[in-house]
A and B are shown apart, each in its own frame.
Chain A
Amino acid sequence: MKQLLSPGGGTQPTKFTLCLMFAAVLLLPFATDALLGRGWVRIMDFAMLYIMLALGLNIVVGYAGLLDLGYIAFFAVGAYCYALTGSPHLALAFPLLFPDGLHLSFWLVVPLAALLAGGFGVLLGAPTLRLRGDYLAIVTLGFGEIIRIFMNNLNAPINLTNGPQGISRIDPISMAGVSLNATQEIFGIVLPSVHLYFYLFLGFAALVVFVSQRLEKSRIGRAWMAIREDEIAASSMGINTRNLKLLAFAMGAMFGGVSGTLFAGFQGFVSPESFSLMESIMVLCMVVLGGMGNIYGVILGGLLLALLPEVLRHSVVPLQQALFGKTLIDPESLRMLLFGTALIVVMLYRPAGIWPSRVRRRELETDEAAEIV
């Protein structure tokens, strides 16, 4: 971990700098609130969710080398899992069984959603075991769409998902009896709801980072990388490629599922349009742009791509108004333009991502050295 924290390869961060970083992250919502306004804290909350998603996908794509274009489906599974079990909605589908809906505790739903999403991961993995690269990408893309379309259409014959209208009035998350949906005062510090969610998401993100890190430097992580590098050689070395690929899909899906429950609890509302193909591609871009296989690169990628559209939304119109007196380009189209340009530039100048993993970096360095020779 220390090695990864110092991309220059020189100094290692001391305990002091780590404590400093930790304190900075803790103060972040307050600083954002004071400088940019409360809306930005909410944006930071979403950025945290994206980071978790990107880290989950990094296990599948970055470690095991399985290109997954339907990853958002697991996020959807998690979100709908809590939406159904933590809202009055089930009363519509089964009025006799659940007259008020099923209001399970969020903390009970998280492990359930993780297991369910993991199960869906295996379900996706099992038929695609023989596929690689483009072919795998197409099948996973189809899987992602199937889940979304199911969510869109499962309002008949039994209204399970409420179709395109989505499920609303989802119970807010509460912790030790304290609802995160209202401003709370803890030890004399006033914490608005968005701050509370920020800390909750931060905790989960930290857990995801921890799990990723431990897996990366383990027998399982090495086996995944062996499969990524050469599947035939891996199986000849005694690696059960079937089980390990399923495990990668399941682990990645679990991360997605957990962030889905957080999303549902935070928003209080889910609908199928949050889980479009574009979202899957966005998460994949976070992984690729940031630095496939490197946890810190993926975090950076998630942060950048989650914040970029918001920065544009808040700056493009005022800027144009000031310069030209009218809005020439709307922020949404500029977003895609800049996004595309950023991808091209990164792929041209930093093909291994903005913050590549140590191995990929060395690889590029030696390639350059070889070119010079």
Chain B
Amino acid sequence: MTVPLLELSGVGKQFGGLSALSEVSLHIKRGEIYGLIGPNGAGKTTLFNVITGLYQLNAGEFNFNGRSYQTPKPHFLAQAGIARTFQNIRLFANLTALENVMIGRHVRTKAGVFGALLRNKSTRNEERASTERARELLRYVGIVKAHQTLAKNLSYGEQRRLEIARALATDPLLLALDEPAAGMNATETESLKVLLQDIRSTGITVMLIEHDVKLIMGLCDRVAVLDYGRKIAEGVPDEVRQNPAVIAAYLGVDDAA
């Protein structure tokens, strides 16, 4: 079997005395859709922030695409190929949709101050390519009509899609989505599912946190369940659903039993 794209072993994260993650080990294979579920406060977003460099891990090992990272900065991981969206949308609110996606191209382009001042041929070409790619991505997620609209004036669903387009603009190997379907209705969730499947078919590995169990079950190849900062189960969705530890975590367990 080939080396997994992402591999965590024994990862721990403490905030003062509080242990948000402990001994979490998991691996994500190339090309799969990997779901991360768990009750509120289980540490899903913390794990996400560790994987995308917003938090530095206190213990354990973090390997991505064959390289080991100890205390990586977020921009470094974006460069390495991890792109993310946020649970509470964090777009560049006062910039247009197109500009938002073009900022995603930053990490794959090079023009510096001198390029900007001289606006030489390579800078102009790069700029044109960025604009084109950004437009293409907006079309891909289905909001190209709104390319001149300020991000903050887009509808909620469009903002979610714009965040995905912006993340895709960084040419990621792993796309990490933090509750992409939160607040969406059934139709929107369904079209999100189609979009994510399509993204996977282009070879991008997808990892997502989600509360919508139906979406997770219908979409993910494998699922991990976190509870109190520990991984309590992992496997194909149907297996996980039958797992007594998972049922206990979600429904509680009768102490007397």
Contacts and interface: CB of A to CB of B under 8 A. Distances in A.
Interface of A: 211, 214-215, 218-223, 225-226, 229-230, 232-241, 247, 251, 359-360, 362-363, 366
Q: Which residue, A219, A223, A230, A235, has most C-beta atoms of chain B within 10 A?
A: A219
B54 A215 contact: no
- A-B residue pairs, 8 tightest by C-beta: A238-B107, A238-B78, A218-B116, A229-B92, A233-B90, A235-B74, A226-B103, A219-B111
Given A215-B117, A222-B102, A241 B112 contact: no
Contacts of A241: 75
B164 to A, nearest CB: 13
Contacts of A234: 92, 103
A359 B115 CA distance: 24
Interface string B230-257: 0000000000000000000000000000
B54 to A, nearest CB: 7
B99 A233 contact: no
Contacts of A230: 90-93
Interface residues of B, number: 43
B104 interface: yes
Contacts of A225: 92, 94-95, 99, 103
B116 A219 contact: yes
A234 B84 CA distance: 11
26 contacts: A214-B117, A215-B113, A215-B116, A218-B115, A218-B119, A218-B123, A219-B126, A220-B111, A220-B113, A221-B116, A222-B95, A222-B106, A225-B103, A226-B92, A226-B95, A226-B106, A229-B95, A230-B92, A234-B92, A235-B78, A236-B78, A237-B75, A237-B166, A238-B78, A239-B106, A247-B113
A187 B177 CA distance: 69
Contacts of B99: 222, 225
B174 to A, nearest CB: 13
B19 interface: no
Contacts of A233: 86, 90-92
Nearest to B107: A238
A360 B94 contact: yes
A222 B79 CA distance: 18
Given A230-B90, A233-B90, A233-B92, A238 B79 contact: yes
Nearest to B52: A236
Q: Which residue, A218, A234, A247, has most C-beta atoms of chain B within 10 A?
A: A218
B83 to A, nearest CB: 8
Given A241-B75, A363-B150, A211 B95 contact: no
Contact of B54 (A211, A226, A236, A238): A236
B19 to A, nearest CB: 23
Contacts of A226: 92, 95, 103, 106
B14 interface: no
Given A359-B95, A366-B153, A232 B90 contact: yes
A329 to B, nearest CB: 41
Contact of A237 (B94, B111, B170): B170
Given A218-B111, A218-B116, A223-B106, A235 B75 contact: yes
Nearest to B89: A233
A238 B170 contact: yes
Interface string B203-243: 00000000000000000000000000000000000000000
A49 B199 CA distance: 53
A360 B103 CA distance: 19
B90 A366 contact: no
A239 B75 contact: yes
Interface string B166-185: 11001000000000000000
Nearest to B169: A237
A229 B103 CA distance: 12
B109 A239 contact: no
A367 to B, nearest CB: 9
B73 interface: yes
Interface string B47-90: 00000111000000000000000000111001100011010001
Interface string B132-171: 0000000000000000001011000000000000110010
Given A215-B117, A251-B113, 16 more contacts: A219-B105, A225-B92, A226-B103, A230-B90, A233-B91, A234-B92, A235-B53, A237-B78, A237-B106, A237-B167, A238-B75, A238-B78, A239-B106, A359-B95, A359-B96, A359-B150
Nearest to A222: B103
B127 interface: yes
A236 B113 contact: no
Nearest to B167: A237
B50 to A, nearest CB: 13
Contacts of B112: 220
A182 B94 CA distance: 50
Contacts of A360: 94
A372 to B, nearest CB: 14
A10 B119 CA distance: 27
A221 B102 CA distance: 11
Contacts of A222: 95, 99, 102-103, 106
B135 to A, nearest CB: 15
B111 A232 contact: no
